[in-house]
Chains A and B, each alone.
Chain A
Amino acid sequence: MSGKNAKSTTLARQERSFLRFTVGQRWEHAILLLSGLVLLLTGLPQKYREFSISQDLLSTPEQIFLIRQVHHIAAIVLSLLVMYHVGRILVLMSRRRLPGDLLPTMQDLRDAWHMLQYLLFLRKDKPRFGRYNFEQKVTYWVVFFSVAIMGISGLIIWFPVQMTQVLPGGVVPAAKLAHSTESVALAIFIVIWHIYHVHIERLNLSMFTGRLSEEELRTFHEKEYQRLANQSGEMK
C-alpha cells in the first residue's frame, strides 16, 4: 500500500480475482486441517512414549482414556469428511461432471522435469502450469493415500478383536506400525512440501479466501488463466 502514489494508481492495471475453491472445498480443508492437527497432537504422545511430556500426558489410566477418546472423536470427524469427499466425487462422476484437474497426467511428469531443470539453472523459465501444478497434485494424492492408510490401520488397531474375526492376527501389529509411521511421514511431508509451497515459496491463502488474484493466476497457473480467458472470450 505504501508504494501507491498517484502515478502508480493511474497506471495500475485493472485486477480481478478468480474463484479457486468453493466454500464447501474450503470447509473440507479446514476440517481436514483441524481434525488432522488434533489427531497428530493426541497421536504423537502415544507413539513417542519415551519423552517425558508424553509420559506426563499418559500418566494415569484416566488420562490415557481421555487422550484416546479425543483421538477417536477426531478420527470419526475425519472419517465423515472422507466419506463426504469420496461420496461427492462419486456423485459428480456419475453425473459426468467431475473436473479432472487433479488427476495426474504425463504433463505433470514433463512439468516436474522442466522444474528440475529450472532449479538446476539449466533452463531460465519455469514450467507453465494448469489449474493445479504437479506440486499441488502431489500434495493432494499423498494426503489422500496417507489418510486412507491411517483410516484402515486405525480401525484395525481400534477394534483388534473384531478385525481378526476375518483378518489374520498379524495385521494388527502391522497396522500399528503402519499407522504410527505413516502419520509421522505425513506430518513431515506437510511441513517440507505443503507448508513450504503455500507459506514460504509464496503466501497462498486461496484455500482460505477461496480466490486467486489475476496476477497470481497468470504467474502461477498460466495455462488455466489462458483457458479462462479463452472461455470468456468465446462466451463473449
Chain B
Amino acid sequence: MTLLSTKGLSKSFDGLEAVSSVDFELPAGQIRALIGPNGAGKTTFVSLICGRLAPTSGTVTFDGYDITVLPAHERIQRGIAYTFQITSIFPGLSARENIALAARRFLKGAQVTEVVEATIDKVGLLGRADQTAGDLAYGHKRLLEIGMGLAQNPRLLILDEPTQGLSDGEIEAFKELIRDLADQATILLIEHNMKVVMATANKISVLDGGRMLAEGTPEEIQNNFAVQTAYLGRDDA
C-alpha cells in the first residue's frame, strides 16, 4: 500500500526551480533514505510534503487523500511528523515539556505522562528531562528534536538530517532507534552520513538539482554510475 505519493511536484523561488516535477511513491512500512548533494532540494521537497511550503505545481497524496491544499498543522494531524534540520525546539521550556507538547495534541492526562517518559527513555535523555531545553548540549538538542517527532506516534516520520552533530555512540543508538521504529511508522530519512543510510534504509532515492535522479536498493544505488558522479564520487560528506 502506498502511504505517500507526489505527482509532478515542483517548487520555484523567483524563477529558480528548487524541486522540479518530482514523482515519488513511498509504500507503508518502508525506511526510505533521501540523499543528494547540498542544494539538491531535499529539504524543500520534504517541506512541500509536510506543508511548510506550498508547491508551485503538482500534488501530494497521503493515505489516499490529496493533501496538497491542507495547511501544515492539518497534515501533521493526519499522521505526518517532521523533525527540523536546524534544531527547532522550545528553548525556554524543559526538555520534558518539549516532548509533552508533542504528545498533548492527541492525548490527555496520564497518557501524556506515559508517552513522555517512554520517549525520553527511548532517545536517551533520562536524567536531563528537567533541564531547560536551551541549555542542553547540541547533540542532546538533536535527540530532543527526534523525541518530539517520536512522541507524536506518526504514521510517516520525516527526519531531516537527524544525525548531524551527533557523536559516534549517539549515531549507533540512533540506528537502533530507527530499526525499532520500522514496524510502527514509515520513515523518510534525509541523511548525509552514508553509513547510517546503508545500515538503515530499505530503499534510497537520490535527488539532484531538484530532480529525482535514481531510486533503488542500497546496493543498486551504490553501483549506479550517475549517482556516483553526482554524489558518492566525492568523499563521504
Q: Do A and B bind each other?
A: no
> Which A residues fall within an 8 A CB radius of B?
none
> Which B residues fall within an 8 A CB radius of A?
none
